[in-house]
Amino acid sequence: MTDPIFIPHQEFKTGLPRGRFRVIVNPERAQKYIKHKLFVVGIALPMIGIGAALALSGYPWAGLPLVLIGILLPRYIKKQAPKILLHLAQSDAKTYQEAIEYEILEVRMTEG
């Protein structure tokens, strides 16, 4: 197995779809990073609060979906964090650099 190497973002962006690199994502660190990067808690908590207020105010059909989305959104993002990170790393150089720097993402050359 080859060692991790530094790949410039543009080369990573063009080489990954062609299969030139092997990418290893640390799932735990990816979950924390994506949760912070996408401000998940800051979105989910107000949705739950507004949904609960609507449901208690006599609008349960408007409030309950907001509560459900507020509860399920962080779980979905947590489950999909490695895929989301890889997508963001391909499209944004800053995210790619941070993922490498924080040891969330490791890029290796493929053999052969």
Q: What is the pTM of this model?
A: 0.86
What would the pLDDT profile of 41-62 be if each residue is shown by its tens digit? 999 999 999 999 999 999 999 9
Residues ≥6 apart with Cβ < 8 Å to 103? 26, 29
Average pLDDT of the segment spanning 27-31: 96
Q: What percent of the chain has pLDDT over 70?
A: 95
Instruction: Write down the domain spans for the chain.
Output: 26-109
User: 């493929």: which residue's tokens?
Assistant: 110
How far is residue 46's CA from residue 26's CA, in Å, rounded to a whole number?
29
DSSP tally for the chain: helices H, then strands E: 5, 2
